[in-house]
Chains A and B, each alone.
Chain A
Amino acid sequence: MPNLSETLGSLLKDIANSRVKSDLFSRDASLEYFKDPVLRLFPVPRVEIRSADLELTFAVASARQEDVKTSDVARSVFSQNVSSLRSRLLSVPARAARSARKAETLDALLGGEQEKVRAELDKRLDAFMTEKADALSEQLIQDPDAFARTLGGAAARILRDVMATTGVRPVFTADLQKEVNDRALEWSRSTSGQLKQALTRARAEAFNLDLAVTKDDLVNLPQTAVARVKVTVEIQNYEWIETEDEKGETVNKLVVA
């Protein structure tokens, strides 16, 4: 059974195509008018469709909801946002050694090893979240602050492990852990909203209506059971123009009239 976009799309394309047929008729008529000494003095008839209103009645034959797995949507959201988590974590201030006077961001401390560490952090953070997506996705939706506590601990461990593979050994203090927790909290709150939106979109994508649109389907239905859609469209008119491409060659192009 058809859905709404297919049904209306087919009708609207027919309206646009009817103007094409009308123009072809006008072309033939203009040649006839040209041949006749009297008709030549008359304007050639031509139909111009600028806009159209359409009303369609239909009934919802069935509504179907396919399963949407929260953890699948969460895996995708985690992977899309892992680089933003990594950037936040590497913006944490740290000292290169206990004796160092000045703290710098972890990213700045990495010097020439930035790219390698960024890639490794992305991989490890993504693996942590996607492997436990079933449990973590529910926690991120229900309680992003609790999720942030889980993430803060794991992120600090991952940071320490990855940093250990480099020539830079920042000092991991309680202050640094607090900064990591704060970054995890910011990220969790923002990503929780994104996950909820992505789930709404995925559920809408997985929901479908089959419509009954034929006369036979609708003829004896009570009016209270009939759905309606009213559509207002502008018919877009195009014309050919001659223009130059980037090489200076003449090309023909369709533009809105």
Chain B
Amino acid sequence: MSRRRLRRMGRFQMDEPTPLKLLGAHLVRELEKLKALGSDGSGARAFHLKEVEVSIPFAAQSDAAPAPIVLGDEEPLTAVEAIARLDHLKTAAFVEVGRIADAPVDSIAVLRLRVKF
């Protein structure tokens, strides 16, 4: 993808870094919506969500190398446990692809979240 296209994709990007606590809570909410989609009452369309692992890269605000953030590494967390653990996250970082592609490699790390249902 060209830099121009990257910039175009990021045209609505937040000027401020995103609190990773908010990003994580959003991901958990999306997974709960996905779980609900699996039981829409139509037998032919039903699936039962068992486990999801999401890994999202982020670029730190400074060039300092950030540590990866892993929640549910040993054992996947329930949605409620994930929200409780995310609540302690104080980090804010850039998550849009335009920002990450332009960031020094050392300033990029991953937020990994494992959730069970």
Contacts and interface: CB of A to CB of B under 8 A. Distances in A.
A20 B44 contact: yes
Interface residues of B, number: 48
A203 B22 contact: yes
A64 B10 CA distance: 11
A146 interface: no
Contacts of A231: 49, 51-52
B29 A233 contact: no
A185 to B, nearest CB: 24
Contacts of B46: 16, 235-236, 238
Contacts of A13: 37, 45, 47
B101 A225 contact: yes
A207 interface: yes
Interface in A86-102: none
B97 to A, nearest CB: 4
A207 B54 contact: no
B10 A61 contact: yes
Contacts of A217: 1, 5, 9
A12 B55 CA distance: 19
A3 B30 contact: yes
B105 A224 contact: yes
Interface string A226-256: 1111111111101000000000000000100
B88 interface: no
A207 B23 contact: yes
| Contact residues on A (Cβ < 8 Å of other chain), bracket | 35 or more
Contacts of B90: none
A224 B52 CA distance: 20
B48 A236 contact: yes
Contact of B30 (A4, A15, A17): A4
B11 to A, nearest CB: 7
Nearest to B33: A5
B55 A233 contact: no
A16 B45 contact: yes
Contact of B14 (A20, A63, A201, A224): A63
A51 B53 CA distance: 16
Contacts of B108: 224-225
A221 B101 contact: yes
A254 B37 contact: no
A15 B47 contact: yes
Given A9-B37, A63-B13, A63-B95, A207 B47 contact: no
B9 A51 contact: no
A230 B33 contact: no
A76 interface: no
A48 interface: no
B69 interface: no
A201 B84 CA distance: 12
B71 to A, nearest CB: 14
6 contacts: A15-B47, A221-B1, A224-B108, A229-B53, A231-B49, A233-B38
Interface of B: 1-2, 5, 9-14, 18, 22-23, 25-31, 33-34, 37-39, 43-57, 83, 87, 95-97, 100-101, 105, 108
Given A62-B10, A224-B57, 9 more contacts: A15-B47, A20-B44, A59-B97, A60-B97, A204-B25, A220-B2, A222-B101, A225-B108, A236-B47
